[in-house]
Chains A and B, each alone.
Chain A
């Protein structure tokens, strides 16, 4: 623009400032306009400036990310499976379905355990949320949500309430009551409000706070009693699909995973993103902390599960096989963190040896994709929910040789 020689002999109203001045022909997006020299100057700094800045910001961001990866790689002196060579290998692994919970009329989307180690809450596509005593397979409570696709549900720590939400963009808390005269829906509390679907929710250490993740790209912390937003977490570039609270002593952080392929660790107090990991090739469907709180695992549509260490600030293991081509929808650790259970969209559950990186076992049984999987609070069993309308509680053991195996 600057070296365009001033040939204009035209004198007239400028297309921009409408002042009578000598004009220059100017091309904006292949349209020809006539600007006075002052407007040309301003346009050169103004209009182009914005585009230029966006592109240069993007480049700066990319190059910094590259440098960050280099820094992270400097301290990586050994692989996990190398360190795990001296750990005893796992023996025969036998898990069987011990309970099948039938009662949902449509795809089961989410479930959560109660702290009493036997009750669970599950939600499905037809809007029904059911509380079961999964040990006896009795249904104890049932609520019909006004929306379909209830994608998130959670049990309160006290066992006295449940939270659920989905396409209604809200998270509602229902106190559990056995009073026959009371309709559970009557005491419902609408806590969270997002601008897109609710994908995950979890109570913190008490019944009075809820953490939610939504398709609008944000997570948020709410006060249940008042419905007040306590903190919001912005940073994901796309839908957030999952979250998990850290089991740390100080209880201040949580991790979230989203459609932007990123897993981000947040400080609940300040709302800032502390760490972020972007090594997956596709949407992250599920994140779960390792029991010690020093790491977390993620399951993704790219058919891999990965382990990220928070102190080393990098990915330390990938759990994948060429024969596994469908995405992992849900992951959870066994109590000791030695085993990683992952439910996949090809109807199976793969069990991984976390330390050695190998697959221990593949479990069949569901007749459609496994959408949710959680290990019970005392680690005695795990429950998997599927699009085949059922939930299955499975238990069993590996034989390490020293203890017994109880199979009747």
Chain B
């Protein structure tokens, strides 16, 4: 990755003995470890080297600090005090350069095995006193790569033994480097933000209204009663299940557009409003009915809003404008009757068009259709005629010679329907695009 290479070049020039960052010594009681620098020094060096101007409006961090932070987050410089917090502080906090062996770009993938060895070493050294997320990771790895655990422990012990051979100063430095490397590559996921989110979620959830179990569960029983006759696996299907008899008549009779729908299908439109809308045939019948009632624009408006919600991001302003012109503008040809408050809010929102700007209006019209037009549709002559004329397909007679397999005919793919360039037509849901009848 080019950004890593650039960072590395920066790091190398920072370590230049003459022109690089000023180095100090880190004092730990009696041990003095060279090659440490303060956050301030780093920031000043960056400002000087890259001519960064510090004029940035508060509270944004100055560019030098931002750049320094990125270097620390990628693990090229690590903090000595408070190593778990990977930020660059522009004060006297000590930092050190990470050895190239541990650089992010080195093709040395941070594998589970290496991490397990590191955790095992830490576990042995600290006699079980690991930080929370390290403990979790240790247990997880112990479960996941249990088959090589003997190897892991053996490696850990060897590395600790080899480390004892080194001078104390070197040992401390190497430990710091390794710790920094793993903090970059295996950061704790459950940090303060995670818990804050959890707490906020819990508070909101406490305030939520819940429904008694008996009422909810009753809902399943009702749903079951209504739908089981329509479930082919539960109740079979007429004339026959295509997968069992190789006869596609069932699909032909239930295609999106047929002259005479089946009885089950027409019955299903009476279950709830969304069933009626979901079936293209049902929706067409609803449109006919609404035309008679002079409220067909409601359905068209709802469809246009669906197009907006699920449409292309780039076409949003265009679609919003078209909806406004057709349905909302004063004197529009297909003006929809929305209450004044919602209309006001919508017209205000149109000034900055976005995908959900019509949500309130769409919901209002949907509820209008559901509570008003839909019940009337179900009671109407139109619907009752549909029910009366609907067919119940006869059961397929069992074949005399069951072992002779009927030929399975292929059907045209939906992808073939329209010319290749017509992606707009194609991408609208199946409700809009016609589907050819199955061959029988």
Contacts and interface: CB of A to CB of B under 8 A. Distances in A.
Contacts of A116: 411, 413-414, 435
Contacts of A279: none
B411 A133 contact: yes
A405 B411 CA distance: 26
Given A336-B234, A338-B231, A83 B430 contact: no
A75 B231 contact: no
A47 B82 contact: yes
A230 B313 contact: yes
Interface in A173-229: 175-179, 204-209, 217, 223-226, 228
Given A31-B29, A208-B311, A337 B227 contact: yes
Given A57-B199, A158-B430, A83 B411 contact: no
Contact of A237 (B189, B211, B240): B189
Interface stretch (B41-49, B59-67, B216-224, B380-388): B216-224
Interface string B148-182: 00000000000000000000000000000000000
Contacts of A1: none
Interface stretch (A3-11, A164-172, A365-373, A390-398): A390-398
Interface string A306-342: 0001011110100000000000000000111111000
A44 B243 CA distance: 73
B185 interface: no
Contacts of A83: 214, 217-218, 220-221
Contact of B206 (A57, A71, A80, A235): A71
Interface string A348-373: 00000011000000000000000000
Contact of B192 (A53, A65, A156): A53
A68 interface: yes
B208 interface: yes
Contact of A205 (B244, B251, B310, B417): B310
Given A64-B202, A158-B414, A225-B313, A379 B233 contact: yes
Contacts of B201: 235, 273, 276
Contacts of A269: 356, 359
B303 to A, nearest CB: 12
B429 to A, nearest CB: 5
Nearest to A228: B313
A408 B397 CA distance: 10
B341 interface: no
B202 A68 contact: yes
Given A114-B414, A118-B251, A336-B224, A405 B313 contact: no
A395 B395 contact: no
Contacts of A178: 413, 415-416
Nearest to B172: A31
A400 B250 contact: no
B363 interface: yes
A20 interface: no
A115 B427 contact: no
Contacts of A237: 189-190, 194
B177 to A, nearest CB: 17
B221 A355 contact: yes
Given A83-B221, A275-B205, A379 B213 contact: no
B344 interface: no
B138 to A, nearest CB: 16
Given A58-B195, A400-B234, A313 B208 contact: yes
Interface in B343-395: 355-356, 359, 363, 366, 395
A239 B193 CA distance: 18
A405 B241 CA distance: 10
B228 interface: yes
B408 A135 contact: yes
Nearest to A251: B309
Given A33-B29, A238-B189, A380-B250, A337 B220 contact: yes
A206 B310 contact: yes
B212 A75 contact: yes
A140 to B, nearest CB: 6
A17 interface: yes
A177 B415 contact: yes
Contacts of B218: 83
Contacts of A157: 429-430
Contacts of B235: 397, 400, 402-403
A152 B213 CA distance: 35
Interface string A59-103: 011001101100110011111100110110000000100110000
A15 interface: yes
A271 interface: no
A160 interface: yes
Given A31-B28, A118-B411, A334 B195 contact: no
Nearest to B243: A395
Interface stretch (A122-130, A142-150, A291-299): A291-299
B425 to A, nearest CB: 9
A14 to B, nearest CB: 10
Contacts of B251: 117-118, 378
Contacts of A209: 310
B133 to A, nearest CB: 10
A61 B211 contact: no
B191 interface: yes
Contacts of B273: 249
Nearest to A247: B274
Contacts of A354: 220
B410 interface: yes
Contacts of B314: 223, 225-226
A159 interface: yes
Contacts of A228: 313
A292 B222 CA distance: 11
Contacts of A84: 217, 220-221
A335 B416 CA distance: 28
A138 interface: yes
A119 interface: yes
Interface in B228-259: 228-237, 240-245, 248, 250-251, 254
A2 interface: no
A209 B412 CA distance: 25
B234 A339 contact: yes
9 contacts: A50-B85, A68-B205, A77-B213, A176-B413, A230-B355, A292-B219, A338-B227, A339-B233, A379-B231
What 6 A-B pairs come out closest when comparing CB atoms? A159-B414, A336-B231, A336-B227, A206-B310, A395-B243, A64-B202
Interface of B: 27-29, 82, 85, 92, 189-192, 194-199, 201-203, 205-206, 208, 210-221, 223-224, 227-237, 240-245, 248, 250-251, 254, 273-274, 306, 309-314, 355-356, 359, 363, 366, 395-396, 398-399, 402, 408-411, 413-417, 420, 423, 426-430, 433, 435
Given A160-B423, A397-B236, 14 more contacts: A58-B190, A77-B213, A119-B413, A160-B417, A176-B413, A205-B429, A225-B312, A249-B274, A276-B205, A294-B216, A311-B219, A334-B233, A406-B245, A408-B399
